[in-house]
Amino acid sequence: MYYEFKLGIPTFAWTIVIVISITLIIISLIIILPVALFKIRLNNEEIYAGAPLAPSIRVRKGDVVSISFINLSRYPELKPTLRLLGIGLPGLKIGWFKLANGSKAFLALNGWDSKALVIKLRSNSLVILSPKNFSDFKSKLQLLGWVKPSS
């Protein structure tokens, strides 16, 4: 006959495991929620881009100097070089960034090789948006009178 005894896991060890797990969950939510809930809303007078826990922007027609549609890969001067406030992951940029040309811009991009809307504001900052369904986004902007229909 023999007797076997085990060492119990100390309370301190459980506390560390729980704290690390909760921290990882919170960090994951801080990154995932803004991306999952990010929306671009359009109406006749305003474009809103934002999500909870993420930077957002409201662009009113009166604040716009110019609007253009571009292919981002052809404009290296618009590439973000420094994240000021927001989320910057490979293939995803949401928030305020400093660009290669020195401008400050609000970006909502899902890739660098994609088409984008570039809005220059009176404040000399830029708004660069590249939603998932870009052709539908472009047609809605035309429908709402933000840009003239292309011929």
- Note whether 99 and 78 are within 8 A (CB): yes
Residue 33 has pLDDT above 90, yes or no: no
- Note whether 34 and 52 are within 8 A (CB): yes
Band of the pLDDT at 151, cuts 50, 70, 90? very low
pTM of the model: 0.81
Band of the pLDDT at 143, cuts 50, 70, 90? very high
What token pair was written down for 43?
């109406």
Strand extents, DSSP E, the chain: 39-42, 46-50, 57-60, 64-71, 80-89, 92-99, 104-109, 115-121, 126-130
Lookup result for tokens 């995803």? 92
Query: What residues contact 85, with CB distance under 8 A and at least 6 apart?
Result: 55, 95, 96
Strand order in the sheet with 92-99: 64-71, 115-121, 126-130, 104-109, 92-99, 80-89
Lookup result for tokens 């902007």? 141
pLDDT tens digits along 59-114: 999 999 999 999 988 999 999 999 999 888 888 899 999 999 999 999 999 876 67
